[in-house]
Amino acid sequence: MRRWIVMGILWSMFGWAQVSDRQISRLFVLGFRGTHITCDSPIGRDLRAGLGGVILFDRDPLKKGRAKNIQNPDQLRRLTAQLRRCAGRPLLIAVDQEGGAVSRLSPKTGFSLRVPSAAAVARKGERYARRIYDRLGALLQREGIDYDLAPVADLALNPRNRVIVHWGRSYGRDPETVAKFDRIFIEAMHRHGVLTALKHFPGHGSSSGDTHKGFVDVTREWQERELVPYRRLISAGIVDTVMVAHIFNRRLDPRYPASLSPRVVEGLLRKKLGFGGVAITDDLQMGAITKRYTLRQTVRLALNAGNDLLLFGNQLDPRHTVTRRQLVAIVRDLLRHGEISEERIVEANRRIEALLGKLR
C-alpha cells in the first residue's frame, strides 16, 4: 500500500500517470449520421482513435423520412460490421430497443419482430416475456448490436407522467414485478451476448416533466421504493450498466440533477446499493442539461459525479453536433486545470474494460 501511495505522489509531481487520448476517447458514446461508413470517414477515424461506443438511430432528425443509421436488416448488419472493422477491438454498438414506442428496429425499417411495450409484456405474463425477449436478443445479436439501452426499471407511479407511463415503458407500479421482468429481459439479452443498461436511475416514473425538454424536479413525488428494482438486480450480480437520469431531487442532492451528482452516483448507486460496474449518463444533449450547463461544465460534472460513459446522441440537437475531438480537448483542459483527476479517467477506463471483456 505504501508503495502505491509513493508512486501516486511521484506521478502527480512528474506527470508519469498522464492519460492518453485513447483513454479519454473511451469515455464517450456518440451518435453519428450515416447508413454506411469507411474507416476514413469521421466516425471511422474516431473509432480508430479509441471512441468507446456509438449509438444508432432509425430516424434522421435533419431529413424527414430519411434513415440516420438504420434502413433495413441487411444494411444494419453491414454497418455494424464496418464499425467493428474500423475499431479493430471490442466496441459498444448501442441502440434503444425497449419495445413498444421505443423501438429502433421495427417493422417500419423492415424488421419482422414486433416487441410490445413493457406494460403490454407484463400483462401477457412471464412465459410470454421470456419468449419475446429471447427472440429480441437473437435479433440484436444477428444484427451486430451488442448493447441495448434497456430495460426500464422505472415504476409507473404517476399517471400524468408523459415520458414513461404514457408510453407504457414501465412494467408496472409494483417494484418487485418491475424487478422480475427486468431480470427476464437482462437474462434473455445475456443469452445472446448483448449487454444491457438498467434505467433511469434513481427513478423517472414519478415525474411530471420530461427531461428531454428541460429541468424536472421530482423532490415531492419521488419515493424510496423506486430504488427496489436496482437493489434487487444489483444484488443478483446481473447488471451490466446503470443509466443515470437527469431528474433533480433536492432530497438526494440540493444542487445537481442525478446524472451530475456525486451524491447520487458515487453515494447512492455505488456506496449504498453496491454497484461496481459502469454508470452511463442519459443523453447529455437533453434540455435538462443543455439549458442549464455549458458543454465544459457538463463533462466536468458528469465525470466527477462518477459516471464512466458519457452519452451524446447527436439526435436531439443535431445542428450542434458534439465530436470526439471536441470532448477530448475539453477533458485535456479540465485535467490541465486540475478540475478532474487522472485517477478518475483511469478508474472509468478500468470499469469500461471490464464491461468490454464480456464481449470477447
Residues labelled as active-site residues? 212, 282
Would you list the DSSP string of 260-296?
A: G-HIIIIIIIIIIT---SEEEESPTTSHHHHTT--HH
H or E element that contains 299: helix 295-305
Question: Prior bond to 90 cis, omega within 30?
Answer: no
C-alpha span between 23 and 300 (Å, rounded): 16
Cβ(325)–Cβ(333) below 8 Å? no
Residue 292 Ramachandran class (φ > 0 left, ψ -120 to 50 alpha, else beta): alpha
Cell numbers representing residue 142 in the block = 444477428
- Cβ burial of 116 (10 Å; 0-12, 13-18, 19+) is middle
Q: Which ranges in 88-227 belong to alpha helices (H)?
A: 118-124, 126-143, 175-191
User: What are the Cα distances from residue 59, in Å, to 13, 106, 233?
Assistant: 49, 12, 32
Question: Exposure string (b/e) for 138-168, b if CB count within 10 Å is 16 or more?
Answer: ebbeebbbbbbbbbbbbbbbbeebebbbebb
Question: Prior bond to 204 cis, omega within 30?
Answer: no
C-alpha span between 68 and 307 (Å, rounded): 27
Cβ(195)–Cβ(148) below 8 Å? yes
C-alpha span between 193 and 191 (Å, rounded): 6
